[in-house]
């Protein structure tokens, strides 16, 4: 989730009166490869099995998954999908068709993680409710992964809301560790869901010209988001770290994953697993952020270290027509 204007204003004030710049340790690992920038990114895909506001039939869910997984595999991306298991039940009964959607991921060699059962928001439910939602969020995922000899190892907080108090964060972290989970951070966040809503609307109206226009704008927007977060990384960490991209299991991303992957490849990225990316020392940085926003880990580290507000200027905007379209 992006910052709201109000939160951003509060944030800038905090930063202006912060403690000033404190550089982070720089890895000795080379950031260039044959004279060219060599970048790495882990692709994380949230809200599995599928998320669409217009296309929700079993056939739609299957088509979305087949298209998305197919494109991910074609580009040899070791992606991870984060599951909301509540979506696998219809009228209280587990829908085996949806379990098969998860199997499309695992049988393609892709990893699955826990995104809570019901997409719970830690900033609106009490900690006990949230912990229960994590605990009941991986029954099917564990079974489906066991079929291919694997277990889930990563947890993604819905809305990137990690708690409003350090004590709450510690309780959640402790439960996660006990269940063998590590928190999946995000360094490249974006508003893909707004473009996805506009795209789905255009498809529902059978306006293919508009759908194509939205999709083209989306890839251009994501290109600028990458440029922004690469610069953020240089400013905050002192170098470009291996990044973690968050996108959603939407029709837009299913249809446009090929174009997104090509955009990343053009920027010099190689695809890496989440585990590989998190082995970079930057991900050991302290994070004591307990503010209201679902912000990236780059920004959490910066806030934890009291870095200046100028760091955060220039975040790419979603075009107004996409915002208007998504709000319908
Ligand atoms: Zn989510």
Task: CATH number of the domain at 43, please.
Answer: 3.20.20.370
DSSP designation for 188: B
Judge whether 93 lies within some domain. yes
pLDDT digits (tens, 9 = 90+) for 307-328: 866 567 788 999 998 988 877 7
Cα of 132 from ligand 1 centre, angstroms: 17
- By the CB criterion, residues less than 5 angstroms from ion ligand 1 are 46-47, 158
pLDDT digits (tens, 9 = 90+) for 245-282: 999 999 999 999 999 999 999 999 999 999 999 999 99
Judge whether 155 lies within some domain. yes
Cα of 267 from ligand 1 centre, angstroms: 26
| Best CA proximity match to 103, nearest among 118, 89, 122, 83 | 83
What is the signed CA dihedral for 233, 246, 193, 322, rounded to 10 degrees?
30
pLDDT digits (tens, 9 = 90+) for 100-138: 999 999 999 999 999 999 999 999 999 999 999 999 999
Query: Are 271 and 75 in contact, with CB atoms under 8 Å apart?
Result: yes
Cα of 244 from ligand 1 centre, angstroms: 15
Neighbours of 30 (CB within 10 A): 7
Res. 2: pLDDT tops 80: no
Neighbours of 168 (CB within 10 A): 18
Cα of 303 from ligand 1 centre, angstroms: 23
Q: How far apart are CA 208 and CA 282, in angstroms?
A: 43
pTM reported for the whole predicted model: 0.89
Judge whether 47 lies within some domain. yes
pLDDT, residue 311, reads 63
Query: Are 55 and 64 in contact, with CB atoms under 8 Å apart?
Result: yes
> What does residue 46 show for φ and ψ, rounded to 5 degrees?
-100, 165
pLDDT, residue 33, reads 45
Length of the chain: 328
Cα of 31 from ligand 1 centre, angstroms: 31
pLDDT, residue 25, reads 39
pLDDT, residue 307, reads 83
Cα of 115 from ligand 1 centre, angstroms: 7
| Best CA proximity match to 251, nearest among 59, 1, 76 | 59
> 290: exposed, middle or buried (C-beta count within 10 Å: 0-12, 13-18, 19+)?
middle
What average pLDDT score do residues 292-305 get? 94
Radius of gyration of the chain (CA): 19
Res. 208: pLDDT tops 90: yes
Give the chain's domain count.
1
Cα of 248 from ligand 1 centre, angstroms: 7
Domain, as residue range, for 47 = 5-21+31-327
CA atoms within 13 A on the CB side of 149: 1
Judge whether 110 lies within some domain. yes
Neighbours of 183 (CB within 10 A): 18
Q: How far apart are CA 162 and CA 159, in angstroms?
A: 9
Judge whether 68 lies within some domain. yes
Judge whether 26 lies within some domain. no
142-to-54, 111, 135 alpha-carbon distances in Å: 29, 11, 12
pLDDT digits (tens, 9 = 90+) for 302-312: 999 988 665 67
Judge whether 234 lies within some domain. yes
């Amino acid at each position: 989730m992006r910052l709201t204007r109000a939160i951003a204003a509060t944030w800038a004030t905090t930063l202006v009166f912060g403690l000033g710049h404190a550089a982070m340790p720089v890895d000795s690992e080379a950031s260039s490869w044959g004279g060219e920038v060599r970048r790495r990114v882990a692709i994380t895909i949230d809200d599995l099995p599928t998320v669409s506001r217009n296309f929700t039939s079993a056939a739609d869910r299957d088509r979305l998954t087949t298209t998305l997984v197919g494109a991910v595999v074609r580009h040899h991306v070791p992606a991870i999908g984060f599951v909301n298991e509540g979506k696998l039940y219809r009228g209280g009964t587990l829908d085996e068709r949806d379990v098969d959607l998860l199997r499309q991921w695992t049988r393609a060699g892709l990893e699955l993680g826990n995104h809570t059962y019901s997409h719970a928001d830690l900033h609106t439910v009490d900690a006990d409710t949230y912990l229960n939602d994590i605990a009941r969020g991986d029954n099917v995922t564990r079974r489906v992964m066991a079929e291919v000899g694997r277990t889930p190892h990563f947890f993604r907080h819905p809305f990137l809301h990690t708690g409003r108090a350090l004590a709450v964060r510690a309780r959640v972290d402790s439960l996660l560790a006990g269940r063998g989970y590590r928190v999946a951070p995000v360094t490249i966040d974006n508003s893909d869901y707004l473009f996805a809503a506009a795209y789905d609307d255009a498809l529902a109206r059978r306006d293919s010209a508009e759908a194509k226009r939205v999709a083209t704008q989306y890839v251009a927007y994501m290109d600028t988001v990458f440029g922004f977060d690469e610069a953020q990384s240089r400013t905050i960490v002192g170098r470009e770290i291996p990044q973690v991209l968050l996108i959603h299991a939407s029709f837009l991303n299913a249809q446009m994953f090929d174009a997104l992957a090509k955009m990343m490849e053009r920027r010099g990225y190689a695809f890496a697993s989440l585990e590989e990316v998190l082995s970079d020392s930057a991900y050991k940085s302290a994070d004591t952020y307990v503010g209201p926003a679902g912000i990236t880990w780059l920004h959490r580290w910066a806030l934890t270290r009291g870095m200046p507000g100028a760091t955060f200027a220039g975040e790419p905007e979603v075009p107004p027509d996409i915002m208007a379209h998504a709000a319908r």
